[in-house]
Amino acid sequence: MSTSHDDDLLRAAFRDLHSIRLHGFALLVTLGDRRAAAGAARRALLGGARQVHELRHPERAAAWLRARALHSMTRFSLRRRPRPTEADRLAALRSMGVDGALLRALSTLSLRERAALVASSIERLDPADVQVVLGAGPAATERAMTSARGRYLAARAPTPSEHEDRSGPVSELVLRVAARTLSPTGGPR
């Protein structure tokens, strides 16, 4: 087999390995904006495929791809264009277990805070990989993750008059991880 053919196969395998989770990350961070998420994931995957030999370790590649997608989302969000409705956003996120309450709580966070929360608490990337995603050092990354979790939990806290069900796989996972992380003793493991 030729080197060119081998490289094409490696790039295809790279895209197959990372595309679904990267798109899910992008959908959550863009709050269900299908167009922005697809564009960010596509641009990141194209860049990653060009550097496939340097990104052979799956976890390091995942962090690198998310950093590229976040950078793309930041640039994309500055463009003026029609934004999806809440119904469209929920339709895009429903298969991931996102309901209206979770979407509203995530929307209280900045793009960077959502990326920190999703990468650390939902995808459970290593803290060093979250640093890569955010393009920040350890202290700044820790502050971003703590702020995101705290603000998310505050937004998710039910008021006494609320009677809607706030359960869902994503929200339950984030709440468990945030409670464990924010407890003084680190909580039960």
Q: Which conformational region is residue 99 in: left (phi greater than 0), alpha (psi within -120 to 50 degrees), or beta?
A: beta
Per-residue pLDDT, 174: 72
Per-residue pLDDT, 2: 61
- Which of 38, 40, 172 lies closest to 105, judged by CA? 172
Distance CA 107, CA 110 (A): 7
State the pTM of this model: 0.76
CA distances, 32 to each of 27, 69, 136 (Å)? 5, 14, 25
Residue by residue, pLDDT tens for the chain (189 residues) are 566 766 666 666 667 667 789 999 999 999 999 999 999 999 998 887 677 656 666 667 889 999 999 999 988 765 667 889 999 999 999 999 999 999 999 999 999 999 999 999 999 999 999 999 999 999 999 999 999 999 999 998 865 555 455 567 777 777 777 667 665 554 444
Cβ contacts of residue 155 below 8 Å, gap of 6+?
104, 105, 108
